[in-house]
Amino acid sequence: MLLGYGPDQVSAFQTRAAADGTYVGKVDGDPGPKTRAALHMSLVKMDSTGHAAVVAAPAPVVAPVDKPVAVVAKGSDKRGWLWGGGLATAGGTVWSSFIAGDRTTQIVIGVGVLAVVAIMLFFGDRIIRRVKTLRDEIGNA
């Protein structure tokens, strides 16, 4: 028995091989040279486990990207020092310096805090617009 066909099933093999395209000739039940060639081609198409070998199709060509991908430093997509406890540490340091400091230190810190608040009040919208513009430019780049 070879390829699931017995010696008396030559015509059945020839029919299947003709459908596969490995046998050319008339189905006559004769195990002649054309039948043996079709048998050989069927065996060559099999893998080592006895199953039909799978022919892998070539991978498609990847189209080039129209827009460049922005290169960003590793970890830059995470929140920075401001959210990682840095703001609380800085705020605590400024507050303790304000409480424990002399009159000059308190005035300097007070003026500095007022300056930051004034800048954010007067220029906050411009800063936010510029940040949004930069994000859009990076996203569209």
**pLDDT tens profile 14-38:** 998 888 888 888 889 888 888 888 8
Local structure of residue 67 (DSSP, 8 states): S
Spatial neighbors of 97 by CB under 8 A, at least 6 apart, are 105, 109
Q: Count CB atoms within 10 A of the CB of residue 44.
A: 9
Domain boundaries, the chain: 1-54, 82-140
Distance in angstroms (rounded) separating the CA atoms of residues 94 and 100: 10
**pLDDT tens digits, residue range 50-78?**
666 655 555 566 666 677 666 666 655 55
Q: Is the pTM of this model over 0.85?
A: no
Q: Is the pLDDT of residue 42 over 80?
A: yes
Question: Which pLDDT score, from 0 to 100, does residue 105 have?
Answer: 85
